[in-house]
Structure 1
Amino acid sequence: MTRYFEKAPLEKIKYCKNYDKGNARIEVRKCSVSQDSQWLILNTPNGLSIKSMARIESAREIKGKCSSEVR
Structure 2
Amino acid sequence: MAKAMQHGNPLSITQVSTKLELKEAIINLLLSNPEILEANQRASKEAYESLSSCIVSSIWNLLSLHIFTRELSC
Greater RCO (Cα-Cα under 8 Å, separation 6 or more): 2
- Higher share in strand: 1
TM-score, reference length from structure 2: 0.25
TM-score, reference length from structure 1: 0.26
Larger Rg: 2
